[in-house]
Amino acid sequence: MASIANRIQLAERAGRLNLTWAFVERQTNLWKRYWAWELVWLVYGVVNTLAITFIAEEAEAAGIASDAGALVLFLLLGTLVWAYLSAVLDDISLVITWERWEGTIEHTLMAPVPRALHLIGMSVFGVLHAVVRTLLIFAIAVPFFTVDLDQANWISAALVLAVGSVSVAGLGILAGVLPLLYPERGTQMSFMLQAIILLVSGVYYSVEVLPDWLRVFSYISPATYLLDGIRAAIIDGQGLSGVWDELLILAGFGALLVPGGIAVFAIAERYAKKTGQLKRQG
C-alpha cells in the first residue's frame, strides 16, 4: 500500500480537471446506455417546440397578431431556452436521484473529491448535454417556420447563454439537494421548482402580462434575464452593449447561486449523514 502521507497527497494533488472530468465521463457513459431515452426526450422537445410555435401561425391566420414572424421567433426562442433550462436542471437533480436508487451515492460521497468539484463536474455535463440537445431541436424545428435570422447576433447570444448557464447550474445544484434529502419526493419537488420558473420567467409571454405580485418573482429568476438577453441578441440583433445589463445580472446570479448551491448541498449532506439518510433507497 502506498504510504499514508503519499495517499493523502495523491488525493490532494489529483488534478482538479481530472476529477471534474470523471463526472462528465460517467454521465456520458450512462447516457450512452440510455440512448433510447435520449431519443424520447429529443422527440418530445421537437414536438413541444413545434406545438407551441404553431400558435403564432394561428394567431396570424386569425388576425390576432400583426407581425407573426416576430411572434414565431419569440415563441421559438422561448421553447428552446426552456428546453435548455429544464435539461440542465433535470440532469443535475436526476443524477442525485439516480445515485440514490442505485445506491452508489454512498460510494460517490465517500470518494476524496471536494464537493465543489463533484457538483461542478455534474453541472458541466448538464450544460454540455443540454446544449447538444437544444441545438438538435433548433435544427429540426426551424425549417418548419419562416423565420428571419439575418439580423441575429450569434456571438451575443452565445455569450448570454454561456454566462446564464452558470446561474442555471447553480439552480440545478440547489435542486439536487431535494433528492438528496427526499429520495422519493425530491424529483417531484424539483419539477415544482421548474414549474414556478416557467411561470414567472416570461418563457412564452412577456413578464409584463403577469399580475404585479407575480411579476416580483420574475426579477429573482435568472431565466428572465437569460430569455431577455437571448431574444435581444437574436430578434433585435443587439450586440454586446445591448445585452450588457443582462450579462451583468446573470454574472451576479452565477456568483451567488453556484457557491450558494454548493454550500447548501454541503449542509444538506451533513444533515443526511447525521440522520442516516444516505443509505440505499429504492
Partner 1 sequence: MSITNTSRPADNAVSSLGDSVNENGRGAMNEIPLAATGITKHFGGDFDARRLIPWRRSQNGRQGRAQVLHDVSFEIRRGEIFGLIGANGSGKSTVIRIFSTLLIQDGGEVRIFGFDAVEQSQKVRALINRVSADPSFFRNMSAFENLLFFGRVYGLTPAEIKRRVPVILGRLGFEYAKATEPMSHLSRGQQQKIAVARSFLTSPVLMLLDEPTTGLDPRSKRDVQAFIREVRAEHDATILLTTHDMEEAELMCDRIAFIAGGRIVAEGTPPELRRRVAGGRPLAEITMETVFMELTGKSIEEDEVMEEVMT
What 3-state DSSP class applies to 200?
helix
Binding mask 104-123 for partner 1 (x = CB under 8 A): x-xxxxxxxxx---x-----
Q: How far is the CB of 54 from partner 1 (least distance, A)?
A: 37
Binding residue for partner 1, selected from 67, 102, 148, 184, defined by CB under 8 A:
102
Q: Is the dihedral of CA 260, 266, 269, 275 positive or negative?
A: negative
> Using the rule CB under 8 A, is 66 a contact of partner 1?
no
Query: Which residue stretch of 48-56, 194-202, 221-229, 270-278 sits at the interface with partner 1 (rule: CB under 8 A)?
Result: 270-278
Alpha-carbon distance of 19 to 16, in angstroms, equals 5
> Using the rule CB under 8 A, is 39 a contact of partner 1?
no
Binding mask 123-162 for partner 1 (x = CB under 8 A): ----------------------------------------
> Using the rule CB under 8 A, is 212 a contact of partner 1?
no
Alpha-carbon distance of 177 to 171, in angstroms, equals 10
> Using the rule CB under 8 A, is 61 a contact of partner 1?
no
Query: Which residue stretch of 8-16, 68-76, 204-212, 253-261 sits at the interface with partner 1 (rule: CB under 8 A)?
Result: 8-16
AA letter at 19 = L
Q: How far is CA 215 from CA 82, 196, 204, 208, in A?
A: 18, 12, 14, 7
**Under 8 Å between Cβ of 220 and 206:** no
Return the exposure string of 105-120: e unless at least 16 CB atoms fall within 10 Å of the residue's CB, then b.
beeebeeebeebbbbb
Which parts of this chain interact with partner 1 (CB under 8 A)?
1-14, 18-19, 21-23, 25-26, 29-30, 33-34, 98, 102-104, 106-114, 118, 270, 273-276, 278-280
